[in-house]
Amino acid sequence: MAKAFTPKVVTANHLLEGDVIYMDVNQKWVRELHQAHLIEDEAQADAWLAVAAAQPWQVVGAYLADAKSSAVGPVPAHFREAFRAKGPSNYAHGKIEQDQVAA
């Protein structure tokens, strides 16, 4: 039996800012993991990654990251993705800072 597919999100870094970004359900780039679209199907994952890879003027290094579903949207399946989603732990910089500004 084939291995069960682990759900994925499409993620990359923003070309100009360097910031971590995700693809939402409309294939638009968003900055928060919980706004991303959780892909449950392998064929769809590959197709979506191809869409991302075809936007080199916008994004760098697009890839599929494992994620889990939750009541608030996708959450990270691995601690590396948790740090990417949250920002560094030594300062309130990056996403943490942006969230404070936004709030």
Partner 1 sequence: MYSYNAFDTAFVRERVAQFRGQVNRRIDGSLTEDEFKPLRLMNGLYLQLHAYMLRVAIPYGTLNSRQMDQLAMIADRWDKGYGHFTTRQNIQYNWPKLKDVPDILDALADVEMHAIQTSGNTIRNVTADHFAGAAADEIADPRPVAELLRQWSTDHPEFQFLPRKFKIAITGSPNDRAVTRAHDIGLRMVERDGVAGFEVLVGGGLGRTPMIGKVIRDFLPQEDLLPYVEAIVSVYNILGRRDNKYKARIKITVHENGIEEVRNQVEARFAELRAAFDGIDQKLLADIKTHFAPPAFKDAPVDAFDAHRAANPAFASWSDTNLTAHKNDQYAIVSVSVKKHGQTPGDATSDQMRVLAQIARDFGHDELRISHEQNVILPHVHKSDLPAVYQALRAADLATANIGLVSDIIACPGMDYCALATARSIPIAQQIATRFDELKLEHDIGPLKIKISGCINACGHHHVGHIGILGLDRAGVENYQITLGGDGTETASVGERAGPGFSADDIIPAIERLVLGYLDLREDADETFLQAYRRLGADPFKAILYPDQQKAA
Binding interface with partner 1 (CB under 8 A): 13, 15-20, 56-57, 60-61, 77-80, 83-84, 87-91, 93-95
CA 73 to chain centre: 11
CB nearer to partner 1: pick between 5 and 44: 5
Q: Which residues 6+ apart lie within 8 Å of 43 measured at CB?
A: none
State in angstroms the smallest separation of the CB of 55 from partner 1.
9
State in angstroms the smallest separation of the CB of 14 from partner 1.
9
State in angstroms the smallest separation of the CB of 99 from partner 1.
13
CB nearer to partner 1: pick between 44 and 63: 63
Four-residue CA torsion sign, 36, 37, 40, 41: negative
Apex 28 CA angle, 71 and 36, nearest 5? 20
